[in-house]
Amino acid sequence: MKVEIVEVKLGEIEQVETALAALAKVSIPAREAWAIAKVLRAVKTEAEDFRKERNKLLERLGKTSNGYSFDIPPENIKEFNDSIRSLTEVEVGVPFPQVEFKVFENAKLTPEVIEPLIAYMFPDMEGREL
């Protein structure tokens, strides 16, 4: 199975993580299941790093409102928004297996699972309408 390093923006990484986690629950052949599990581990690492950086920004620029959530004071909103925007534009290389979509043809998948992954791991679906 071919694997391609694909650039994914951090702003999309949590959506990709959620889609891969849902896909990992589908019964598919062992080879493809292993490939999905492997890319999910890589994406989880990137998503965790993204969340840590986002939380650092919240801690630095925000104020705790009830012990576990943050409010951004008006004087910090621009810096926070600029920093988050910059962070979400960072691209990271993720080793996506190139899987033929027909492997999932009997699976019950929602568009929310399929759509974030089409450009990354289903080369036979590129350019097709959902």
| Per-position pLDDT tens, the chain of length 130 | 899 999 999 999 999 999 999 999 999 999 999 999 999 999 999 999 999 999 999 999 998 877 777 899 999 999 999 999 999 999 999 999 999 888 988 888 899 998 899 889 987 776 655 5
Residue 107 forms part of a structural domain: yes
Residue 18 forms part of a structural domain: yes
pTM: 0.87
Residue 36 forms part of a structural domain: yes
* Parent domain of 43: 3-54+94-125
Residue 79 forms part of a structural domain: no
Residue 106 forms part of a structural domain: yes
Contacts (Cβ under 8 Å, ≥6 apart) of 19: 112, 113, 114, 115, 116, 117
